[in-house]
A and B are shown apart, each in its own frame.
Chain A
Amino acid sequence: MSVIHLTYEVSGDDFTRAGEASGLVKSKLKKLGYNKDAIRRVAIAMYEAEINMVIHADGGVVDVDIYPDKVEVVLADKGPGIPDVEKAMQEGFSTAPDNVRNLGFGAGMGLPNIKKYTDEMKIDTVLGVGTTMYITVLVKQ
């Protein structure tokens, strides 16, 4: 049973607002008294995934389930999909254009970061249809 369910729509054409949903989840978890390390791991992983949705996939929907012992985040977009997930997971691999790089992203570190900070990570992707990412962070009480 999920204690709290949150849903956010992430706009694909407003880079300046990317991260809003992650910020809201972060302050929610803080209010609920979750431990600092877990909150930070959720915030960073979700933020990287939210940024990816904006820069690579024209936005999407984020669903967050907060349990006493874990936080699950599902990010679904209708973007181009990822042709080679294994390659995309490598540090330094990025297809981000120069304008994204000028904004401080496109180092090819997002997916490896998400992997590093979460306890579970799964990517379902279909070319031309979209990408759904599932991430779980376990919370030690």
Chain B
Amino acid sequence: MVVKDLIDILKAKVILEGDLDAEIKTACGSDMMSDVLAYVKDQSVLLTGLVNPQVVRTAEMMDMLCIIFVRGKEPNADMINLAKSRDITLMSTPYRMFTACGLLYSNGLRGGCEV
């Protein structure tokens, strides 16, 4: 899967375009940034309902490629600027967290922390 495949699966609107052809390894969904930071695996996509600049910072520290805001939420201008200089793609999906994660999972994407 590559970043642009997320658009159709999640009926997403692209807010900021980074590298849409970059390959996605794994994804994670959370509103707690410290939980996201707790699993350094090659996680490429972050799904979240949280909207503040620390979401972009967290993705930056983790080398993530794309942030998907669930429930139609949209980032503000500060967040877009922050993501722009780091080549991170920003999208908004109308789906809620559970459904968005489920759609990606059923399309073959995994979380990268199998037990």
A residues at B contact (CB < 8 Å): 15-19, 22-23, 26, 36, 40-41, 43-44, 47-48, 51, 103-110, 112-113, 116-117
**CB within 8 Å of A: which B38-88 residues:** 38, 40, 48, 50, 52-55, 57-58, 60-63, 78
Q: Is B32 an interface residue when CB atoms closer than 8 A count as contact?
A: yes
Q: How far does the alpha carbon of A106 sit from the alpha carbon of B50 in the complex, in Å?
A: 14
Q: Enumerate chain A residues within 8 angstroms of B57, measured Cβ to Cβ.
A: 18-19, 22-23, 47
Chain A residues with CB below 8 A from B58, complex form: 47, 104
> Complex Cα distance A23/B62, Å?
11
15 chain-A/chain-B pairs, Cβ below 8 angstroms: A15-B54, A16-B78, A18-B54, A18-B57, A40-B62, A43-B61, A44-B37, A44-B40, A103-B50, A104-B58, A105-B34, A108-B34, A109-B38, A112-B38, A113-B38
Residues in chain B near residue A43, CB distance under 8 A: 60-61
**Do residues A109 and B78 form an inter-chain contact, with CB atoms below 8 A?**
no
A117-B62 Cα distance, complex, nearest whole Å: 12
CB distance from A62 to the nearest CB of B (A): 15
A48 to B38, CA, bound (A): 10
Residues of B within 8 A of A113 (CB): 34, 37-38
Q: Which chain B residue has the least Cβ–Cβ distance from A22?
A: B61
A36 to B35, CA, bound (A): 21
CA distance A31 to B60 in the complex (A): 15
From B37, B40, B60, B78, contact of A26 by CB (8 A): B60
Which applies to chain A's interface (DSSP): helix, strand, loop or mixed?
Answer: helix
The interface residues of chain A lying within 8 Å CB-to-CB of B40 are 40-41, 44, 117
A109 to B57, CA, bound (A): 17
Q: How many Cβ-Cβ contacts under 8 Å join chain A to chain B?
A: 75
* Ranked 6 nearest A-B pairs via Cβ: A19-B57, A109-B34, A104-B33, A107-B34, A43-B61, A104-B50
The complex places the Cα of A116 from the Cα of B53 at a distance, in Å, of 25
Name the distance in Å between B69's Cβ and chain A's nearest Cβ.
13
The verdict on B31 contacting chain A, using a C-beta distance below 8 Å, is yes
A3 → chain B closest CB, angstroms: 22
A104–B37 touching, CB < 8 Å: no
Bound CA–CA A22/B60 (angstroms): 10
Write out the residue numbers on chain B whose beta carbons fall within 8 Å of the beta carbon of A26: 60-61
Nearest CB on A from B26, distance (A)? 15
Could you tell me if B60 and A104 are in contact, using CB atoms closer than 8 angstroms? no
A141 to B53, CA, bound (A): 33
